[in-house]
Amino acid sequence: MLAFPDPNKPVAEQDDVVLLALTVLGEAEGEPDLGKYAVAWVVKNRMLLKKKGVRDVVMAPWQFSCWNLGEPRRAFLEDTALKAAKNLPMAVWAACVRASHEVLDGLADDPVGGATHYCTNALWGNDDSDRRRPRWFSRQEIASGRTVETTRIGGHTFGAAA
């Protein structure tokens, strides 16, 4: 059954499948279906690692850029919730919901090899030597072995960070 956002609820109070589908939409709208499953799996892998629910994982500050305050994608996702996803092509929303439902219910295999992080392919391995603590996806963290690439799907590189 296709789930839709409840326009009478704030985003953070949406059903788990809907909240994850909104996150997948915000992070992987233009990605192939496998990319949508991959983002959903990163959320689930973090849930398993941290023993937390969808809401706690996706709404944690600075974890998923689509939910960052001031981020244009956040405004788009909030609008999508208010409009019960009627501002989208139904095929796009259905793909996000399907990935979210199947991952949360254990009906889809993990295509990211346990990854708990991802970034755009363009960011992966960038030099970050002028920061105090290098970003998890920086050349320095990769070289140290603290970050390990697990796979690339579409425009994202997936990895596990210590």
Give the pLDDT confidence of 95-143 residue by residue, as tens digits: 999 999 999 999 999 999 999 999 999 999 998 887 776 789 999 999 9
Nearest to 67 by CA among 9, 122, 12: 12
Strands (E) located in 25-155: 117-120, 147-153
Edge-to-edge strand list for the sheet holding 156-161: 117-120, 156-161, 147-153
Averaged pLDDT of the chain: 95
| CA–CA gap between residue 24 and residue 50 (Å, rounded) | 20
The answer to whether residue 51 scores a pLDDT higher than 90 is yes
pLDDT at residue number 161: 84
Nearest partner of 59 among 23, 99, 86, 102, judged by Cα: 23
49 touches 15 (CB < 8 A): no
Express each pLDDT in 84-108 by its tens digit.
999 999 999 999 999 999 999 999 9
Instruction: Output the pLDDT for position 162.
Output: 75
